[in-house]
Structure 1
Amino acid sequence: MPQHYPFSAVVGSDDMALALTLSTISPAIGGVLVRGEKGTAKSTMVRALASVLPPIDVVAGDRFSSDPREADPLSPDGPFPPDVDVETRPVRLVELPVGATEDRVLGSLHLEKALSEGVTEYEPGLLARAHRGILYVDEVNLLHDHLVDLLLDAAAMGRSTVERDGVSVEHAARFVLVGTMNPEEGELRPQLLDRFGLTVEVAAPRDPATRVEVVRRRIAYETDPAAFAARFADDEADLTARIQAAQELITKVDLSDWAMLKIAEVCAAFEVDGMRADIVTARAAAAHAAWNGRVEVGREDVRAAARLALPHRRRRNPFDAPGIDEDLLDQILGDDEPEPPQADDGAGDSSASGSDSSASVGDSSASVGDSSASVGDSSASVGDSSASVGDSSAAGGTEEVTVTAAQQPYRPRLFTVGGTGAGESGRRSRAITETGRRIGAAPRSGGGGSIHLTETIRAAAPHQVSRGRTGTGLDFRPGDLRLAIKEGHESNLILFCVDASGSMAARRRMEQVKTAILSLLMDAYQRRDKVGLITFRQDGAELALPPTGSIDIAAARLAELPAGGRTPLAEALSRTADVLRLERVRDPRRRPLLVVITDGRATYGPDALARAHQVARHLGATGVASLVIDCETGKFRMGLARTLAEHLLAEYVPLGEVSAAALTDVVRSGLSEGAA
């Protein structure tokens, strides 16, 4: 029974298939990032890729998969004799789990042998195992930034250097890096996004006939995997032969002056930063030419490469989705290229595909995805002028409900959760993390981490006599090992509870509220937080956005937020308590920060204000870190938001002091008055 679904049997993922194929033809491209909603065959296709790649020859017994044809392979197990034994094996697909530690990725000192035998031996990590293969990271956006940096540096340099725990090792690490992610769970930082060679947007097909074919094939595979694999065996073999021919042909592909100039013009027109885009586009264009059996790069090769290499590199705002204007691309490329010559041996005949999906891999005219339709493109919606949504019936009469836009966001104050947490690494609150400053040590308990050498020696020293030590060396045992405890910063769950009732509906007030929230969202984006959004108006509270890592979706929900009607404050706080309770079960390590944005009024139901204060006291007793942003304005204020903050045991902040600049002005004013 085959282990994976056949690569050529996947329907409707032409751009992803093309990007993966180009990266295997030319690993120097720098890997592929696949962005798409759940259930779009991202993982299925990546896992199937290894089965269509040509097998490789390796040095027998070498842990680092050295190529026997290399004169001096970079392997710690070398050097090898000229008549070394050779074995042929399939290309490996190595999966890197999101929770992997740095020593698991890079490799480190073999602890058991170091402590029991006193020898220094390097234990290879996942990068060594992935050499000359595929390194796959599912949910790469949830991987720690420093681990993503390690992967991308190794992919770019083709080698991995380990200097830690008394080990100094360098080994080859050339692999195809493939990362998949669901944008709803959070974005990659722009500086990390740029390091991926190619990017692809995938989505479920909207054509009913295509969807039917996807379901039909999946059911057929699950019913009889062997028969289904046999059905596509010829297609898989054709793909393997075509990839192998392209890998051999790419060294002969010529990047003419015309092609280089067009690539430079395209990159300049899309205002990409740096020169990485030009280099990646050139490599991808050469790979595309080889894939189609050509020895000279032409217009279609440049176009296909630009569609995959530039969308994530163009200048954009943090909440904008990657995308590229294909009309502008066609305008720049024009149609004045000479006809490129064909390869003499015909090894890369583009008609060699045996199935509809494999044929479409070489079709460079397919759309990479209309990113302008993404819900994450909030820059346009945030800047829209306020518009009337319609009337909503409220007790006491008919009240107009309006939608008001936010203005340009500003740098907000840093709000944190008190104490020291132990959540995912981030940039907000203090926490015990895998990175940061060393503050102590603890016995090893099965996990990884960096060795605290001083504390390890201190733990072993009192037992030397009882262990019968002879000589000058220390007698270590595994139980002596101590790992460093480090304090850094964690990411948090920022749960917004936003008052959208009639008392907030004044255009100026709602504009300030949305601008403040957008500013806090941008701050959460930079600090790797999850965010959730609860809104309340009329007769209830709505979870407008369940807690997610996708800040851009939160910005889009904010832009659509209407205002008007009564104020169900008690109901909103009750809903907030329910959401926090559920998230505590789902993600117990991530500490929440509740941000209530209101003027403190409560007008829905009997004893509305008393009920709201009662719920607030119960919520405050749970110990959740809270912040109340007071939206009340004018000379005569009721001070209800401050009272709410007291019941919640929350920090109280007037809306005008959310900005870091505004807070600085307040402090300076106070210092000036004190000096006077």
Structure 2
Amino acid sequence: EGDGMRASIVLARTAPALAAGAGREAVTADDVRQAALLALPHRRRRNPFDAPGLDEDKLDQTLDEAGGDRGQDDDDPDPGPDGGGDGGGGGGGVPPQADGEDRTPPRADGGADDTPSQAPEGAPDAPGRPAGGEQRPVAAAEPFRTKTLSVPGLGEGAAGRRSRARTEHGRTTGSRRPEGALTKLHLAATVRAAAPHQRARGRVGRGLVVRRDDLRQATREGREGNLVLFVVDASGSMAARQRMSAVKGAVLSLLLDAYQRRDKVGLVTFRGREAEVALPPTSSVDAAAARLESLPTGGRTPLAAGLLKAHDVLRVERLRDPSRRPLLVVVTDGRATGGPEPVALAGRAGRLHRSEGTASVVVDCETGYVRLGLAGELARELGGTAVTLDELRADAIAGLVKDVTAAGRAA
């Protein structure tokens, strides 16, 4: 945004003179303002979670400082509601702190407090809280740089920066017989394949007799983008000790990582009696962040419903894009309280994902001195691994995150 503002200043200072020199009507500061409103909003974004838009008060102040005498122009004779004589942007009527005011869009809960009141599950509804035990959305904690979660094995999906894959570009790792047209010859492998047959082929002189069966295609290894499907527990237990703010911060961190690694993302949430697809798989990471920000909490924990809903989403996506491998990220404390036999149902749903080879990781959100370890049990059912919120940070000393199904292969 700073570069765009400087461009506006230059244009505000030079455009009138240029237009006058060309014999045309001078460009006014209002023209520059309209151009800035059209050109700058998308340029101010520094990451996909920044809201589009432009601070119009700051733009007006910048133009006032650049023009100097804009307050005395004939087209702006009104000194303002305060009646002050200072027409510039420096001294009149606007408190100094307004220039640095946070002008990001209001939070989904509509409040200024990052810690909205929360009550235990089943408590009477407090004033201002939605009925039915649902609690208002809370703001996410500050995102952080996460450890790399990757899908094990070698894929062949779209180019990206997450998991190992066979690609057209990258380092040469080996050779194979070509399937169809030969696109990249592996010279050394071709020579090795042809060399043992030279006498039988009647070789004379220095030349090497090479036939089609000797040709070898070079195999290259790079990185692919994956489908990262988040399954987020939004039940009442996740709101305990204001845990949901930290959980949202962790998911936002993983979303930012997915954006940088060119992944597709999807969001499934579960609470109360059912699960829902909050966002079908998409390349729009900022859309997932917006849905997460407005996510309310409350009710029981239908963990099995969330896992089964995720299974349906992945089944459809395998038909649409079979080459893109999925990574299932379940964000929960592991409790299951929704429906009959909730723990057994959750275990069966987890084994369903494991039987299909879905790579998975469980982000354990359980806090406090007494921990039940239910997220670890869920990770074993999924055939993946569990990491805590602290271990998810890239700068954490303990809990190095390896390939998400390393635990499943060991089992």
TM-score for the superposition, normalised by structure 2? 0.70
Alignment partner of 1:319 is 2:72: no
Given that residues 460 and 475 in structure 1 are in contact (C-alpha distance below 8 angstroms), is that contact kept between their aligned partners in structure 2?
Answer: yes
Which residue of 334, 337, 341 maps to 1:603? 337
Alignment partner of 1:616 is 2:350: yes
Report the counterpart of residue 405 of structure 1 in structure 2. 139
Change over 3 Å in CA distance of 1:417–1:656 after alignment to 2 = same
Report the counterpart of residue 75 of structure 2 in structure 1. none
Residue 541 of structure 1 and its aligned partner are, at CA, apart by 0.2
Which structure 2 residues correspond to residues 472-551 of structure 1 after superposition, within 5 A? 482-551=216-285
Alignment partner of 1:271 is 2:2: yes
> Aligned equivalents of 2:365 and 2:359: distance in 1?
20
Which residue of 159, 173, 192 maps to 1:439? 173
> Aligned equivalents of 1:381 and 1:618: distance in 2?
35
Residue 379 of structure 1 and its aligned partner are, at CA, apart by 9.2
Change over 3 Å in CA distance of 1:441–1:326 after alignment to 2 = farther
Residue 639 of structure 1 and its aligned partner are, at CA, apart by 2.2
> Aligned equivalents of 2:115 and 2:367: distance in 1?
20
Which structure 2 residues correspond to residues 559-598 of structure 1 after superposition, within 5 A? 559-598=293-332
The residue type paired with residue 585 of structure 1 is L
Report the counterpart of residue 385 of structure 1 in structure 2. 114
Change over 3 Å in CA distance of 1:512–1:325 after alignment to 2 = closer
> Aligned equivalents of 1:660 and 1:562: distance in 2?
28
Alignment partner of 1:649 is 2:383: yes
Q: Secondary structure at the match of 1:427?
A: strand
Q: Secondary structure at the match of 1:535?
A: strand
Q: Secondary structure at the match of 1:547?
A: strand
The residue type paired with residue 385 of structure 1 is D
> Aligned equivalents of 1:296 and 1:452: distance in 2?
65
The residue type paired with residue 272 of structure 1 is D
Given that residues 387 and 399 in structure 2 are in contact (C-alpha distance below 8 angstroms), is that contact kept between their aligned partners in structure 1?
Answer: no
Report the counterpart of residue 673 of structure 1 in structure 2. none
Given that residues 319 and 378 in structure 1 are in contact (C-alpha distance below 8 angstroms), is that contact kept between their aligned partners in structure 2?
Answer: no
Which structure 2 residues correspond to residues 134-283 of structure 1 after superposition, within 5 A? 270-272=1-3
Residue 507 of structure 1 and its aligned partner are, at CA, apart by 4.5
Q: State which drifts further: 623-632 or 321-330.
A: 321-330
Give aligned pairs, total: 350
Change over 3 Å in CA distance of 1:550–1:313 after alignment to 2 = same
The residue type paired with residue 593 of structure 1 is L
> Aligned equivalents of 2:279 and 2:335: distance in 1?
23
Bigger fraction of residues in helix? 1
Report the counterpart of residue 158 of structure 2 in structure 1. 424
Given that residues 281 and 306 in structure 1 are in contact (C-alpha distance below 8 angstroms), is that contact kept between their aligned partners in structure 2?
Answer: no
Q: Secondary structure at the match of 1:532?
A: strand
> Aligned equivalents of 1:598 and 1:464: distance in 2?
64
Change over 3 Å in CA distance of 1:467–1:410 after alignment to 2 = same
Percent identical pairs in the alignment equals: 56
Change over 3 Å in CA distance of 1:447–1:594 after alignment to 2 = farther
Change over 3 Å in CA distance of 1:634–1:325 after alignment to 2 = closer
Report the counterpart of residue 170 of structure 1 in structure 2. none
Given that residues 541 and 572 in structure 1 are in contact (C-alpha distance below 8 angstroms), is that contact kept between their aligned partners in structure 2?
Answer: yes
> Aligned equivalents of 1:599 and 1:579: distance in 2?
22
Change over 3 Å in CA distance of 1:294–1:486 after alignment to 2 = farther
Q: Secondary structure at the match of 2:2?
A: coil
Report the counterpart of residue 552 of structure 1 in structure 2. 286
> Aligned equivalents of 1:333 and 1:628: distance in 2?
51
> Aligned equivalents of 1:568 and 1:314: distance in 2?
41
Residue 294 of structure 1 and its aligned partner are, at CA, apart by 6.2
> Aligned equivalents of 1:413 and 1:423: distance in 2?
22
Residue 594 of structure 1 and its aligned partner are, at CA, apart by 0.8
> Aligned equivalents of 1:562 and 1:576: distance in 2?
19
Report the counterpart of residue 76 of structure 2 in structure 1. none
Which residue of 632, 657, 665 maps to 2:366? 632
Q: Secondary structure at the match of 1:410?
A: coil
> Aligned equivalents of 2:188 and 2:204: distance in 1?
21
Q: State which drifts further: 636-645 or 379-388.
A: 379-388
> Aligned equivalents of 2:357 and 2:267: distance in 1?
20
> Aligned equivalents of 1:293 and 1:665: distance in 2?
70
Q: Secondary structure at the match of 2:327?
A: strand
Residue 392 of structure 1 and its aligned partner are, at CA, apart by 10
Report the counterpart of residue 264 of structure 1 in structure 2. none
> Aligned equivalents of 2:257 and 2:142: distance in 1?
14
Change over 3 Å in CA distance of 1:477–1:325 after alignment to 2 = farther
Q: Secondary structure at the match of 1:580?
A: helix
Report the counterpart of residue 131 of structure 1 in structure 2. none
Which structure 2 residues correspond to residues 49-88 of structure 1 after superposition, within 5 A? none
The residue type paired with residue 499 of structure 1 is D
Q: State which drifts further: 321-330 or 521-530.
A: 321-330
Given that residues 301 and 336 in structure 2 are in contact (C-alpha distance below 8 angstroms), is that contact kept between their aligned partners in structure 1?
Answer: yes
Given that residues 45 and 52 in structure 2 are in contact (C-alpha distance below 8 angstroms), is that contact kept between their aligned partners in structure 1?
Answer: no
Given that residues 570 and 612 in structure 1 are in contact (C-alpha distance below 8 angstroms), is that contact kept between their aligned partners in structure 2?
Answer: yes
Change over 3 Å in CA distance of 1:417–1:666 after alignment to 2 = closer
Given that residues 320 and 379 in structure 1 are in contact (C-alpha distance below 8 angstroms), is that contact kept between their aligned partners in structure 2?
Answer: no
Unaligned runs of 5+ residues in structure 2 are: 71-103, 125-130, 401-411
> Aligned equivalents of 1:573 and 1:509: distance in 2?
21
Given that residues 184 and 218 in structure 2 are in contact (C-alpha distance below 8 angstroms), is that contact kept between their aligned partners in structure 1?
Answer: yes
> Aligned equivalents of 1:632 and 1:327: distance in 2?
44
Q: Deviations over 1:102-145 (max 9, x none)?
A: xxxxxxxxxxxxxxxxxxxxxxxxxxxxxxxxxxxxxxxxxxxx
Change over 3 Å in CA distance of 1:445–1:619 after alignment to 2 = closer
What RMSD in Å do the two structures reach over aligned CA positions? 4.4
The residue type paired with residue 311 of structure 2 is A
Q: Deviations over 1:206-250 (max 9, x none)?
A: xxxxxxxxxxxxxxxxxxxxxxxxxxxxxxxxxxxxxxxxxxxxx
Given that residues 533 and 543 in structure 1 are in contact (C-alpha distance below 8 angstroms), is that contact kept between their aligned partners in structure 2?
Answer: yes
Given that residues 121 and 236 in structure 2 are in contact (C-alpha distance below 8 angstroms), is that contact kept between their aligned partners in structure 1?
Answer: no
Change over 3 Å in CA distance of 1:326–1:640 after alignment to 2 = closer
Given that residues 48 and 285 in structure 2 are in contact (C-alpha distance below 8 angstroms), is that contact kept between their aligned partners in structure 1?
Answer: no
> Aligned equivalents of 2:123 and 2:381: distance in 1?
28
The residue type paired with residue 504 of structure 1 is M
Residue 635 of structure 1 and its aligned partner are, at CA, apart by 2.5
> Aligned equivalents of 1:293 and 1:394: distance in 2?
74
Residue 537 of structure 1 and its aligned partner are, at CA, apart by 0.5
